[in-house]
Amino acid sequence: MAAHSLSPSLYRLLFAVKYASLHSRCCAVHKKAQYSTIYNPSEKTFEKILIANRGEIACRVIKTCKKMGIKTVAVHSDVDSSAVHAKMADEAVCVGPAPTSKSYLNMDAIMDAIRTTGAQAVHPGYGFLSENKEFAKRLVSYPVMIKASAGGGGKGMRIAWNDEETREGFRFSSQEAASSFGDDRLLIEKYIDNPRHIEIQVLADKHGNALWLNERECSIQRRNQKVVEEAPSTFLDSVTRQAMGEQAVQLAKAVQYSSAGTVEFLVDSKKNFYFLEMNTRLQVEHPITECITGLDLVEQMIRVAKGYRLQHKQEDIPINGWAIESRVYAEDPYKSFGLPSIGRLSQYHEPLNLSNVRVDSGIQEGSDISIYYDPMISKLVTYGATRSEALARMEDALDNYVIRGVTHNIPLLREIITHPRFISGDISTNFLPEVYPDGFKGHQLEADTRRELLASAAALYITAQLRSQRFLGELSPVECNHWELCVELGEQRHVLEITKSGNVYTVEVDGGEVEVSGQWDLASPLLPLTINSTHKMLQCLSRDASGNIVLQYLGTSFQVRVLSKLAAELNSYMPEKVPEDTSSILRSPMPGTMVAVSVKPGDTVAEGQEICVIEAMKMQNSLTAVKQAKVKSVHCKPGDTVGEGDLLVELE
């Protein structure tokens, strides 16, 4: 039937094999006096099938489809518009005039009929196009997924939408696969657009016993690598959950698997699920399953390896509460949702002071994040009796997580878990490109949150100024409690009037009033404040004597400049810095190793043409020209190690 009903490992089989097999089974049943097959109405198949044939075989297929509750589409020539098969079907589409070459063999017309009717599968019957290889290729068409057969973690994986992208994807995927796994073999599968990625945790022993430990929702991904996971899924009902679990256990038993493993599925909007792959190992996201089941999966793996039987039965496996995992990476989320960042963790504090927070990490303050290994810093897990409780704890945990020395993806993680679509469960593997079509830009301030940020920055600035004056003995006998300041945020300048009473600052800004209070420990990276009676956790990333302050607020870093009224007036006379013309230079967007340099001085490159390839953390990235130009100079060669921002190529 349709390619998307098959396991990914079978997608590479030719259409002719699949359709011939189906055709032979149907004919064998047809020759019997009575049908021996039993239709199970609980089995999910297709909603609509197009029959690319006519006459008795078309009628034959339509009969079975009706019995199975499947809608049908008939195709016909203009002289067949009143034929029996055209009337039997739920829909009928004319595909051309009487000659078969212009109708029943007209692939373009039949493909149009498939698209316009929304048919999910095609039954070719016999004759006509049933064994046509070209028709087969058009029905197992783009997009396709190219992936490393020994792969994982999104490495060695590319989506191709045409022949050119297939060739490029093959090159990069095979090189990444060899670099990451020592095996450059690839699989090519049909790519299902806009699905959910839901997986089932299984546990099996060497005595024929196997359990499914519920599901994990893993649809939030970038570059085919998971970013946020949760257990259970908001999407599955108990019937679908059980069906997926039972099939996962059947697979484990069929291959006599023993240990913890994960069976991954793609799930469409109708809760139809399709086998993706089985990972015969411990998954990165296993902690969220441990949270909701109470089982230690590593302990279970060790017991099974020693030969012990499983201690539990299927009815013993609960879903207790909700768990969410955020993968904290040393990555820049503003560059393709996360290009690697390297450096030393100059300051590092995990939010373990909060309840029901788990941090799985292998680093500490002073650890180095290098270009040679995966840039994961930790897995941040929160648990709650309900999903909303787990999400609230994740929000607090991200706000309290202190990471200095490398760029990290906490801004993206916090935006994901607070986004209305995520909160409502309206997600798919395309969540990030759909929500951020122009790339991630950080938290977008509204009028009220902008006032809160400006007021907090001003209060912090005044607190630091007063402390310095006390230290230097410059305070007058009567301490000033009223100030007028200007705060620059982006291209905008805001005038603030501030009044101080004890530890409370009242700030008038942009037509509103904000009250800010706190302990104001300037030595701590965390800045717990009460803003308009609501507790907020900010972080002071940096500040200097010139009034430049970088605050992490709502997960995102904002740079502000606080000036006195006089300084702001004088600053307006300063010449503006001319920005660098980046169209004629190519800088490295990340630290890494040069894999290939495709140009030399004197070459003419077209817009979009590949100039070089850089590898970072086993992932290869093609850098292209932003305009047509002649290459002036090349400052790198294959094998060079480059840093973020290093000049690679100059154009004239």
Task: Give the residue numbers annotated as catalytic, written as ranges.
Answer: 281
DSSP states of 93-110 as a string? EE-SSSSGGGTTT-HHHH
Return the number of other C-beta atoms located less than 10 Å from residue 115's C-beta.
Answer: 9
DSSP states of 514-558 as a string? EEEEE---TTSSEEEEEETTEEEEEEEEEE-TTSEEEEEETTEEE
CA distance 129 to 137: 12
- Cβ neighbours of residue 476 closer than 8 Å, sequence gap 6 or more: none
In eight-state DSSP terms, residue 439 is -
CA distance 325 to 425: 15
Q: How many CA atoms lie within 13 A of 579 on its CB side?
A: 4
Decide: helix, strand or coil at residue 413.
Answer: helix
Return phi, psi of residue 135, to 5°: -65, -35
CA distance 408 to 227: 13
How many angstroms separate the first and last alpha carbons of the chain?
A: 55
**Structure tokens given for 580:** 């660098």
Taking the alpha carbons of 118, 123, 124, 130 in that order, is the dihedral positive or negative?
Answer: positive
Residues linked to residue 159 through DSSP beta bridges, in sequence order: 145
**Structure tokens given for 37:** 């097959």
Q: Rounded to an integer, what is the distance from CA 211 to the centroid of its chain?
A: 28
